[in-house]
Amino acid sequence: MKKHLVMIALLAFISIPALGEKFTGYISDEQCATSASRAAKATDWINPQKFEACAQKCAKNGSPMVFVTEDNKVLKLDEDSTKKAGGHLGHRVSVTGKVENGTLKIKKITTIQMEAQSKPGNQQEEKMH
């Protein structure tokens, strides 16, 4: 019996790192994310009504996609993760993945509903361009 419990515990321990870490944040473009790097949190500069169009416009103009954490840290995406994130540009997302040297490697990504902006009068996005 002890042998089985040890084996189950060992399998659980091995499986947890394979799943990766969970993150909630935003798929943005590097230009917008860098322009807003002084904000304390992503919701200080992301306007849900304008964010998707803005991020898509900048990405179309060559700004690479990035992941922005809720506390406004910018993580680069590797090539495979960029492909996975493509349909989520300008969205709030839940991501399972791994961060290595400032680059997020996405295993799974799902769009989640954006929260209302905490500062309705914020014009940060208009100032970026």
Task: Give the per-residue pLDDT at 127.
Answer: 52
Task: Give the per-residue pLDDT at 112.
Answer: 94
Low-confidence ranges of the chain (pLDDT < 70): 1-19, 116-129
Task: Give the per-residue pLDDT at 20.
Answer: 83
- Do the Cβ atoms of 95 and 104 come closer than 8 Å? yes
Closest CA to 126 of 53, 23, 73: 53
Three-class secondary structure of residue 117 per DSSP: coil
Partnered with residue 75 across adjacent β-strands are 67
- Do the Cβ atoms of 108 and 81 come closer than 8 Å? no
Task: Give the per-residue pLDDT at 1.
Answer: 54
Cα(12)–Cα(53) distance, integer angstroms: 42
Task: Give the per-residue pLDDT at 4.
Answer: 47
> In Å, how far are 5, 7, 15, 16, 80 from 2, measured between CA atoms?
5, 9, 20, 21, 42
Domains of the chain: which residue ranges?
20-128
The string of pLDDT tens digits covering residues 11-43 is 444 444 455 899 999 999 999 999 988 999 999
